[in-house]
Amino acid sequence: MIILQTQNEVRVALADKKKLALIPTMGNLHDGHISLIEHAKNYADKIIVSIFVNPIQFNSKNDLKNYPRTLSRDISILRDLGIDILFNPTDKEMYPSKPLLNYKLPSLATQLCGAKRAGHFEGVITVIEKLFDLFKPDHVFFGKKDYQQLMLIKKFILDKRYKITLHPIETVREDNSLALSSRNNLLRPQSKVTASTLYKTLKDTIKDLKKTNNINQAELSAIKKLTSLGWHVDYVEIRRQTDLLKPTTNDKNLVILGAAYFEDVRLIDNIEFCTDDTKCL
């Protein structure tokens, strides 16, 4: 594995470009990231992992400061996995001047997580555009845990006509069903038991919805339940899987998404489901 820190180093290293897979991360690697890497091995000659804690996608200075950083451990993991290239740039290398995104994000970027984190997705797409233009990958891999981010990147690839295949990878979970996230490391060990109730509540809400067929009632009940368990809820919403728009009565393939704080740690999760199991795609 070679470690590159500048864009010029990348251009030299990829002069004999082969079929490339890119996995963008912010480090503090866990089994969710490893799952992305293992999937990538089936599609590419070279696998590139980027580790860059992107400052412009944080809307809180404390959140940026507290984000877990474990570079030495991450390097060891990537070496053991046989990664070809680790790209670990500095902030100045990625943003030598004020970042400018010449792309108009869809209205979805201001909903759900975007409604609570102003500028977040603009920061995400800005760094993704830089990485795509630099590496020109054939394949990219993203986890479904960040469902809204996945949808926005998918649309970005289509709008910009990148010749990139996006692979959505299923969420990896801890034994108690808590979705793996670098932010989980900010929780006290005993708090992870309660943190797993986010997933359980979303799962129970799907069951309630199938009984009542009332989306608003199901969403409100989920929020009330999470609040009673000590969560500060940003949202619980049920949307269409294809585009994350609000569903109509004819939509069957849905996803429930939730974002909430537990002990000042913001966690997100989602579950894809079908209202009529006989019509699931």
- For 219, the token pair is 């969403």
- For 193, the token pair is 């038991």
- For 48, the token pair is 């590139």
Look up 232 and say whether it is catalytic.
Answer: no
**Per-residue H/E/C for 38-60:** HHHCCCCCEEEEEECCCHHHCCC
Strand segments (E) across the chain: 2-4, 20-25, 46-51, 85-87, 139-143, 165-169, 232-240, 253-262, 265-274
- For 125, the token pair is 């797409």
Q: In 10 A of CB 118, how many CB atoms?
A: 10
d(CA 122, CA 126) in angstroms, rounded, equals 6
Cα first-last separation, the chain: 40
d(CA 20, CA 184) in angstroms, rounded, equals 30
Choosing from 33, 39, 139, 167, which is the catalytic residue? 33
User: Phi then psi for 168, rounded to 5 degrees?
Assistant: -80, 130
Owner of token pair 């500095």? 90
- For 51, the token pair is 């580790």
Which residues are part of the catalytic machinery?
33
